[in-house]
Structure 1
Amino acid sequence: MIERIHTNQRMSKIVKHGGIVYLCGQVGSGTTVVEQTEDCLGRVDRLLHEAGSSREHMLQATIWLADMADFDAMNGVWDAWVPQGAAPARACGEAKLADADLRVEIIVTAAVAG
């Protein structure tokens, strides 16, 4: 069974299938990459919780930065947020994001807690 949560014509914020939680790309508010990453990861936390998962159950993360010059600053926030011993498989690259003010977008896949 596939469960879609917060669905509209274009996308679902959460899709659950076979014990796996797929989140749509999350962005955050703020002007700096640190502020946006903090806000973005807060959104990830809330969606994972709603889906019956948590950051301890992350399997994979894809991170898009508008500018790779922000890599170290984003990683400072990321490293403090990821639980010790629970780092997911991860990729990070540079991409033109949907809005010129966006500095970071994060996509997470996680296992349902259980």
Structure 2
Amino acid sequence: MITRHEKSARLSRVVVANGFAFLSGITAKDRSGGAKEQTADILAQIDHFLALAGTSKSKIVTANIWLKDIGAFNEMNAAWDEWVDPEAPPARATVESRLAAEAILVEIQVQALV
């Protein structure tokens, strides 16, 4: 069975299938701040979407992070380190990439067990 949450014609924000929650790439709603602020905004959204799927950050198995500028790595990590469950850190990749809009500094996608 596949369950889709917050879907549009283009995508679903969360897809639950085979015991996993797959989140779409999440960007900050408030793009006025720097990488740390945008990351904190994204992580709050991830908490919401994981709860919607019936899971939590302690069950994240993998995270992919895209940064507009890899120079913001430490700034992003400052927010990440405050948020991540230190007893259950996921496998993670972080890369520099051109993102969908000029004001987007960070995008994060996660997969978690349900």
* TM value normalised by structure 2: 0.96
Give unpaired runs (5+ residues) of structure 2: none
Q: Is the 8 A contact 1:63 1:105 kept in 2?
A: yes
Q: Tell me what 1:97 maps to.
A: 99
CA distance in 1, matches of 2:33, 2:45: 17
Q: Tell me what 1:76 maps to.
A: 78
Give unpaired runs (5+ residues) of structure 1: none
Q: Deviations over 1:48-105 (max 9, x none)?
A: 0111000000010000000000001101110111011110010000111111001000
CA distance in 1, matches of 2:49, 2:83: 15
Helix, strand or coil at the partner of 1:110: strand
State the Cα distance separating 1:8 from its structure 2 match. Answer: 1.0
Alignment partner for residue 47 of structure 2, among 45, 55, 75?
45
Q: Tell me what 2:17 maps to.
A: 17
State the Cα distance separating 1:31 from its structure 2 match. Answer: 2.2
The percent identity for this pair of structures is 40
* TM value normalised by structure 1: 0.96
Q: Is the 8 A contact 2:37 2:79 kept in 1?
A: no
Aligned length: 112
Which runs of structure 1 show a deviation greater than 2 angstroms over 4 or more consecutive aligned residues?
A: none
